[in-house]
Amino acid sequence: MRTIHELCDLVRETAYAIHLYHAHGHLEKVYENALGHRLHKAGVQVEQQAAISVFDEDGTLLGSYIADLMIEGELLVELKACKTLAEEHAAQLLGYLKSARRRHGVLINFGSYQFQIKKYVL
Check residue 54 and give its pLDDT: 82
Check residue 58 and give its pLDDT: 92
Ordered domains of the chain (ranges, CATH): 4-121 (3.90.320.10)
Euclidean distance between CA atoms 76 and 68, whole angstroms: 8
Contact 20, 110 (CB under 8 A): no
Q: Give me the average pLDDT of each 10-residue run along the chain (122 residues).
A: 94 98 95 98 96 86 91 96 96 87 95 95 93
